[in-house]
């Protein structure tokens, strides 16, 4: 259970991050490559991407299956902790040095794949989407802009404390225990809040609170999906027709 529980937590974290990244890439391709989306943006492809996302999340989380172990500490209490040296010699100097190197490598990989690269991708995609909206003279200060800014900010605030806390654990001898404990509480609160906030954000933003509150949840979800798919298809079709017309003029 020590291995399985921590692996499941890590899989859920990475799947959440990767899914938000896929959503931002989808928004980018929909606005910048409407003809390609019209021909290739299908449900089977989306299903394959989601399955690939879950497999990637499991692969990145797999080290927990090897490193997490139970350990009996002073007083006979059993704890679940990381053994990065994969050795039963917990107190050996050589094994501790090896464990620190492995711990640093694991932290760097998790920070890059779980925060830095997804954050840069999400930010870059939504900047490009915003610039395209401005270029086409679409609504720049309305609902889409609020969603994009809120997604980027919530992702940054939601996951940065998590990685800061684990970074402090790498250099635990140089960080006060009180600071590490405070950051631990912060990252637990922010990551849980962010995981619950993102679905609400995509569904409810821009709607009147009482209207949302009074409507049945299933009706609201159905309306949101129908509106999103309908607007996407209409926009893709319109842009496809415009580009076809431009192509005809160039050929003429």
pLDDT of residue 124: 93
The pLDDT value given to residue 245 = 42
CA 133, CA 233: separation in Å to the nearest integer?
Answer: 17
**What's the longest Cα–Cα distance across the chain?**
86
What are the pLDDT digits (tens) for 55-114? Answer: 999 999 988 888 888 888 777 788 888 888 766 665 666 667 777 888 888 889 999 999
Q: Which range has highest mean pLDDT (19-33, 86-100, 157-171, 213-227)?
A: 19-33
Q: Dihedral of CA 127/132/135/137: which sign?
A: negative
- For residues 125-139, give the mean pLDDT: 78
Q: What is the C-alpha separation between 192 and 118, in angstroms, rounded? A: 18
Chain mean position to CA 176: 29
The predicted pLDDT at position 66 comes to: 85
CATH of domain 2-206: 1.20.1070.10
At residue 233, the pLDDT reads 41
Extract the tokens encoding 114.
């779980």
Q: Does residue 159 carry a pLDDT above 60?
A: yes
CA separation for the pair 163, 72 (Å, rounded) = 27
- How far is it, in rounded angstroms, from Cα 242 to Cα 252? 15
Question: Rounded to an integer, what distance in angstroms lies between the CA atom of residue 198 and that of residue 16?
Answer: 10
Taken in order 30, 31, 35, 38, the sign of the CA dihedral is positive
- For all residues of the chain together, what is the average pLDDT? 76
Nearest to 232 by CA among 23, 34, 12, 28: 34
β-strand partners of 79: 71
The pLDDT score that the predictor gives to residue 87 is 63
Q: How far apart are CA 42 and CA 236, in angstroms?
A: 13
Q: Over the stretch 181-237, which tens digit does the pLDDT of each residue have?
A: 788 888 888 878 877 777 777 665 544 544 555 555 556 556 655 554 444 444 444
Where is mean pLDDT largest: 148-152, 157-161, 177-181?
157-161
Ordered DSSP codes for 186-230: HHHHHHHHHHHHHHHHHHHTTS-HHHHHHS-HHHHHHHHHHHHHH
Which DSSP symbol is given to 62? T
């Amino acid at each position: 259970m020590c291995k399985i529980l921590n692996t499941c937590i890590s899989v859920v974290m990475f799947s959440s991050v990767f899914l938000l990244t896929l959503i931002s890439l989808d928004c980018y391709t929909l606005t910048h490559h409407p003809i390609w989306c019209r021909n290739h943006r299908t449900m089977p492809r989306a299903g394959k991407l989601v399955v690939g996302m879950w497999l990637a999340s499991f692969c990145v989380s797999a080290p927990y299956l090897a490193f997490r172990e139970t350990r009996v500490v002073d007083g006979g209490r059993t704890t679940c902790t990381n053994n990065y040296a994969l050795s039963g010699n917990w107190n050996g100097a050589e094994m501790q040095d090896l464990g620190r190197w492995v711990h640093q490598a694991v932290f760097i990989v998790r920070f890059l794949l779980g925060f830095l690269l997804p954050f840069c991708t999400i930010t870059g995609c939504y900047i490009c989407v915003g610039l395209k909206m401005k270029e086409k003279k679409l609504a720049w200060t309305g609902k889409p802009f609020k969603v994009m800014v809120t997604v980027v900010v919530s992702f940054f605030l939601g996951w940065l404390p998590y990685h800061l806390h684990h970074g402090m654990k790498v250099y635990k001898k140089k960080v006060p225990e009180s600071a590490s404990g405070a950051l631990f509480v912060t990252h637990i609160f922010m990551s849980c809040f962010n995981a619950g906030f993102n679905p609400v954000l995509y569904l409810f933003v821009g709607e009147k609170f009482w209207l949302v509150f009074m409507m049945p949840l299933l009706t609201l979800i159905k309306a949101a999906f129908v509106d999103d798919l309908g607007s996407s298809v209409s926009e893709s079709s319109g842009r496809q027709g415009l580009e076809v017309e431009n192509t005809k003029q160039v050929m003429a």
